[in-house]
Amino acid sequence: MAKPHTLGELKDSGYRSRSVKEELRANLICKMRTGGTIFPGIVGYDDTVIPQIANAVLSRHNFILLGLRGQAKSRILRSLIGLLDDEIPYLAGCEIHDDPFRPLCRDCQNRLQEQGDAAPIAYLQRHHRFVEKLATPDVTISDIIGDVDPIKAARGGHALSSELTIHYGLLPRANRGIFAINELPDLAGKIQVGLFNIMQEGDVQIKGYPVRLPLDVMLVFTANPEDYTARGKIITPLKDRIGSEIRTHYPATLEHAMAITAQEAWTERAETEHLTVPEFVREVIESVAFEARQEKKIDKRSGVSQRLPISCLENVVSNAEQRALRNKEPHAVARLVDIYAALPSITGKFELEYEGELKGADSVAREIIRQAAARVFKKHFDGVPMQSVVQWFELGGTLKYAADAPVREVYRQLENIHGLLDKTGKLDIDSDADPALRVAAAEFILEGLYALKKINRSEELGFFAERRAPEPPPEEHQPPLSPRRRNLN
C-alpha cells in the first residue's frame, strides 16, 4: 500500500496520531507481551534499572538517570529509540516536524489554511527523533528553546514580535521525539527554568514576548550525584517536575562485568588471526576494576568507570599482539605481564585520594593488579597444594625473563620449576596445549603466589624466595643440677 503524501490521503488512510509518550508506552507493552529485549546490549540491569525505566515509560514520565561515570546512562537513553515507531508523518518543510492534525508553529497553521487537504506530508525516521545535548555552563536559552532571527524578519517582512521570526532551538526541534540532556547539573539555572516551563505550562518567553509551545516531547536526563555540589545542582522546581529518578550502578557480578567488557572491547584484530585471551586473564582484568572501586586510596565519589577494564583489555591484546609480531610467533596469547604493560589504560581512569597521591598512580595501580591476581588465583587454586613450586624457589631457584621474551625461551625456564606446568591442568590447559597457553597459565600461577606473598618478585631478580634459615637442632634435655653441684659451679 502506497504511503499517503497529502493531508487528505493521510485522513483517508485512517491514521490516528498519538503523543510520543503514548507511542513509547504502547510499543513497550508490545515488546513485553512478545518477550522481546527492551534494551539490547545493556547487561546487569535486568533486575534493577530496566524495570524502573519500564515503570517510568508506562507511567508516561519524564525521568532522570543518576549514577557515577561509566554506568551506561547515555547508552540507555539512546536505546529508547528502539521503542519509537519506524516512521511518523509530519507536515513537509516544518522545522519542528508538526503533527499534521495538530500543528503548533504559526507557519504550518497558515499553510493548512491556504492548502487544506492538499498540504504535502513527509515522513520522519525514528533515528531522527532523538536529540541529545551535553549540558555545559555556556549553553544559552537560545540553544535550547530558540531566539528571534532578524534575517527571517527582514526577508519575510514580519514584525520582530511575530512567531514567524523565531529560530527554533534544540528542544522544539525534538518535537514528537525524545530530548536528552547529559550532565543536567551543569546547565545554568535560568536554562533549567526554561525547561520546566516548557514541561509544565508549555510556554516560554523569547526576547520579552510569550510564545506558546505545548511541545510533544519525552524529556530524559542524566546526572552524576556527586556533581550536585561539585559543579552545580538541579533546581528544585525542575527536579519536582521530573517524574522518576532512577539510580544506576556498576556491575554487581564478575560475570556481568566480563560480558560488558567482551561486548565493548575491540579485540578482533584482522591482522592477527590467532589471538587468544585466556579466561583467567579476562577475570584478572575485570577484577582490577572491582578492586579499584574498593581501594581506599581511590576517590569513591568519582567512581571507577567500566571503561577501565574495556581499555585495559584492548591494551593487553595489543601488547600480546606486539610481542608475537616482534618474535615472529604465529599465536599471540595474552598474559599477566601484559596487564602490567597496560598501566597507561588504568591510571587515567581513577582519581586518587591524598594517600594515593603520595604513593603515585603507577604504584597504586600495580598494587590493585596484585590484589586482583590474588582474588582470581584463590578462585581457581583454593586448596591446591603448591608446596613443590614454592620449595623450588626457597631452595635458591630464581626465574627472570624479559617481558617480550619469545615463548620457547620462557617455556624452557618454566620447565625447570618442579611441578609448575602440571598445575596448569586446573585451568583446563593440559600438557598437549599450545606452549604459549601453558606459559600464560604458569605465569598466572607465579603471579598468584607472589600476590599471596608465598614468593617474591623484583625488577632485578624476577621471581625468587627468601631462603629459609636452617632450623637449630633440638636442645637435649638436661636434668636440673643439685644444690651441691650448683654451689661447686
Give residue-wise pLDDT tens across range 263-297. 999 998 877 778 999 999 999 999 999 999 999 99
Domains and CATH numbers, the chain: 7-247 (3.40.50.300), 254-464 (no CATH)
Residue 92 has pLDDT above 70, yes or no: yes
* Stated pTM of the model: 0.85
Q: What is the mean pLDDT of the chain?
A: 88
Q: How confident is the model at residue 235 (pLDDT cuts 50, 70, 90)?
A: confident
Q: What is the pLDDT of residues 117-164, one digit of tens each?
A: 999 999 999 999 999 999 988 888 888 888 877 777 677 777 666 667
In this predicted structure, the answer to whether residue 110 has a pLDDT above a threshold of 50 is yes
Instruction: Single out the residue of 393, 405, 368, 395 nearest to residue 463, CA to CA.
Output: 393
Instruction: Write down the pLDDT at residue 56.
Output: 97
pLDDT score at 489: 44
Q: pLDDT digit string (tens) for 172-201?
A: 899 999 999 999 988 888 888 878 777 777
- Percent of the chain surpassing pLDDT 70: 90
Q: Write out pLDDT tens, residues 66-85.
A: 999 899 999 999 999 999 99
pLDDT at 486 over 80: no
Q: Give Cα separations from 229 to 137, 192, 232, 303, 329 (angstroms).
A: 15, 16, 6, 16, 54
pLDDT band at 255 (very low <50, low <70, confident <90, very high): very high
Residues 45-54 pLDDT 10s: 999 999 999 9
pLDDT band at 314 (very low <50, low <70, confident <90, very high): very high
Residue 469 has pLDDT above 80, yes or no: no
The yes-or-no verdict on residue 488 having pLDDT over 50 is no
- Is the pLDDT score of 390 beyond 50? yes
Q: pLDDT-derived band of residue 230, with 50, 70 and 90 as boundaries? A: very low
pLDDT tens, residue by residue, 343-379: 999 999 999 999 999 999 999 999 999 999 999 999 9
Based on C-alpha coordinates, what's the Rg of the chain? 33
Comparing 96-100, 328-332, 479-483, the range with the smallest average pLDDT is 479-483
Predicted confidence (pLDDT) at residue 203 exceeds the cutoff of 70: no
What distance in Å separates the CA atoms of residue 194 and residue 83, rounded to the nearest whole number? 27
Confidence of residue 212 (pLDDT cuts 50, 70, 90): confident
Q: How confident is the model at residue 228 (pLDDT cuts 50, 70, 90)?
A: very low
pLDDT band at 478; cut points 50, 70, 90: low
